[in-house]
Structure 1
Amino acid sequence: MPLMSNRAHRFHAPMVVYFDAIRRAGSIREAARRLNVASSAVNRQLLKLEAELGTPLFERLPTGLKLTHAGATFARHAIEVLQDAERVRSELEAMQGLRSGHVEIAAVEALTSDLLPSVLTRLRELYPRITVGVTVLGSAAISQAIVSGDADIGIAFSIDRTLDLRQLSLWPFQLGATMRPDHPLANYQKLSLGTCQAHSLILPKADLSIRQQLHRALGKLPQGMVETSSVELAKQLTLRGLGISFQTRIGIERELESGTLVHIPITKPVTLKADLGVYVRSARNPPIAVHALVELFSKQVDQMAASESR
């Protein structure tokens, strides 16, 4: 993951900055490379910090550095102060009319096909000084990325709520069977999972939230012709006629518009829905740049959700 904005780092002592870099990189050498400073300088600041706190912050292992219990406690402090510095810097610049800043997004793969590119294009048009980093993860990993400070916001389906996460927005989307228009089931208005089972299936792997929903609805799932954690691969295999895949309309917008794929809601044994949510860390007040991006994203998804309900 990219480090926090260098300008945000200027608000705080090098010890905190270097500690956070080591935590993220897992080694002093890699942290120094990312910070573009000498390894000796990073090591010196770490030793100084450990001396001031009176306790080791990392275990020195052959495979790299691992946080001690004290290090994990200090890491929570470092994440908060550095993220707060980014927020303050963003607000100060906003007061001057600059509307700049940096936003780290952790998002599920389905968003990268059309939805997220559209939002980021609009963001660039309105706020050209805001920079963005995007990491594609599964829903479960997105929660950890937010809590650890590696992501400012997370956008995912069906995230388990915890006290560490604050939900900013939520939209329900219907899960459906996706197939080519020449598939034998393509003319159905709705489908049951049982009917789909009689055909070749492209199934999501366990790290995708859709897999959990299919499992809860059907119990033991049949063997898929292909099982993948990649939404893009599932889409491409479906386009090639290898079988039926399962997802929401998000990620196949262009294919549905062009008619190269159809999406049929699953209604039996139960109607399946996936909740798309935007999340931040509970203990954090996000900077203005994050709010600007979330506002644009919400407007785009509101339109999609309204279209689906019609």
Structure 2
Amino acid sequence: MRYQTILHYIEAAARYGSIRRAAEELALTPSAMNRRIQAFEAELGEKVFERLPQGVRLNPAGELLLFSARKQIAEMDRLRSQIADLSGMRRGHVSVACSQALAPYFLPAQVMEYNAQYPHVTFNISVSDRGAAEHALADFSADFALIFGATHLPEVEVVLQAQQVLHVIMARDHPLAEQDCVRLRDALHYPLALPTKAFAGRQMLDLAMARSSVPHRLLLESDSFEFLKSIVAQSQALMVQIPIGTPTDPDGAIVSRKLDSRDVPHGTLSVLQLRGRNLSVAAARFLDQVIRALEARFHVT
């Protein structure tokens, strides 16, 4: 426990690539944080950061230290959560990495449901791509991850998989909004506002369009789902999304309709955890709640 504070400082400086920004987050002066880190480096007998003109970067010794630090911090969080649970305080912290589709609707609802029962538990929700989410599990910066189309590192285990059928999102008054299920050939008659090719949903659609004889017109690409939703709300354009990321307001400006599974096969949303890691009480409870919510809505394996 002796080094918990300084390890938090080093973790924050590495995360931001800047001692100044890390100090602001932790309500310290940059000079005070820098002195603490330098004193730790002197005691360790090794530098852990490369000092650069625009910030700091971990050197190889620092990379080893950070991995160990995150592991210790996670274990201490788990211990604190267990002790708080014994005392009835039910405190703790939960870190989740997720695909962008889970950020607007599903996870906020889950966090608020959990918060109503355990108001002293805090959260960090990080929107990540597949690779970054898996690495966040491996370096202990995320307790678990919810990723669409995940490719799995050997040290990451699949807790649950939920089937996701691709949907099209459109303006409420769009001609296709009258249909419950949309054929791809009908959707391709309208301009497309699509996520970039890095997203699994876009990759699924591209494969389906490559098999179709109907030409398509790409209006724009963006890595922001919120921007894409704004575009389709104001136009005849269509975007694609998995059902866990589709709008939930029945009176909203946009609606979603399922793409026919004959045209586009389903994908998989994976709940991932570092193999062999024991989660804190708070994180384990939240993971159980998320799993129950997915089981209630989707076909899971």
TM range (shorter): 0.7 to 0.9
Where 2:240 maps in the other structure, the secondary structure is strand
Q: Is the deviation greater in 162-171 or in 90-99?
A: 162-171
Residues 104 and 133 in structure 1, CA contact (< 8 A), matched pair in contact too: yes
1:145 aligned onto 2:136: yes
- The equivalent residue for 2:261 is 267
Residues 172 and 253 in structure 2, CA contact (< 8 A), matched pair in contact too: yes
Which of 267, 270, 274 lines up with 1:281 in the alignment? 274
Closer, same or farther in 2 for the Cα pair 1:16/1:132, shift >3 Å? closer
Task: Kindly provide the CA deviation profile for residues 248-283 of structure 1, in whole angstroms up to 9, marking residues without a partner as x.
Answer: 2223242468796241223344x4223222223336
Q: Distance in 2 between matches of 1:260 and 1:41?
A: 50
Q: What's the offset of the Cα at 1:144?
A: 3.5
Q: What's the offset of the Cα at 1:207?
A: 3.1
Task: Kindly provide the CA deviation profile for residues 88-109 of structure 1, in whole angstroms up to 9, marking residues without a partner as x.
Answer: 1111111122221111223333
- The equivalent residue for 1:224 is 218
Closer, same or farther in 2 for the Cα pair 1:35/1:289, shift >3 Å? same
- The equivalent residue for 2:106 is 115
Closer, same or farther in 2 for the Cα pair 1:134/1:22, shift >3 Å? same
- The equivalent residue for 2:34 is 43
Residues 190 and 236 in structure 2, CA contact (< 8 A), matched pair in contact too: no
Residues 80 and 284 in structure 1, CA contact (< 8 A), matched pair in contact too: no
Unaligned runs of 5+ in 2: none
Task: Please tell me the residue identity of whatever aligns with 1:86.
Answer: D
Residues 191 and 217 in structure 2, CA contact (< 8 A), matched pair in contact too: no
Structure 1 length-normalised TM: 0.83
Closer, same or farther in 2 for the Cα pair 1:78/1:212, shift >3 Å? same
Percent identical among aligned pairs is 26
1:126 aligned onto 2:120: no
1:292 aligned onto 2:292: no
Task: Please tell me the residue identity of whatever aligns with 1:225.
Answer: L
Closer, same or farther in 2 for the Cα pair 1:32/1:180, shift >3 Å? closer
- The equivalent residue for 1:22 is 13
- The equivalent residue for 1:238 is 232
Q: Distance in 1 between matches of 2:52 and 2:134?
A: 27
Task: Please tell me the residue identity of whatever aligns with 1:235.
Answer: K
Q: Distance in 1 between matches of 2:68 and 2:76?
A: 12
Closer, same or farther in 2 for the Cα pair 1:76/1:178, shift >3 Å? same
Q: Distance in 2 between matches of 1:39 and 1:230?
A: 33
Q: Tell me the matched-pair count.
A: 297
Structure 2 length-normalised TM: 0.85
Unaligned runs of 5+ in 1: 1-9
Task: Please tell me the residue identity of whatever aligns with 1:244.
Answer: L
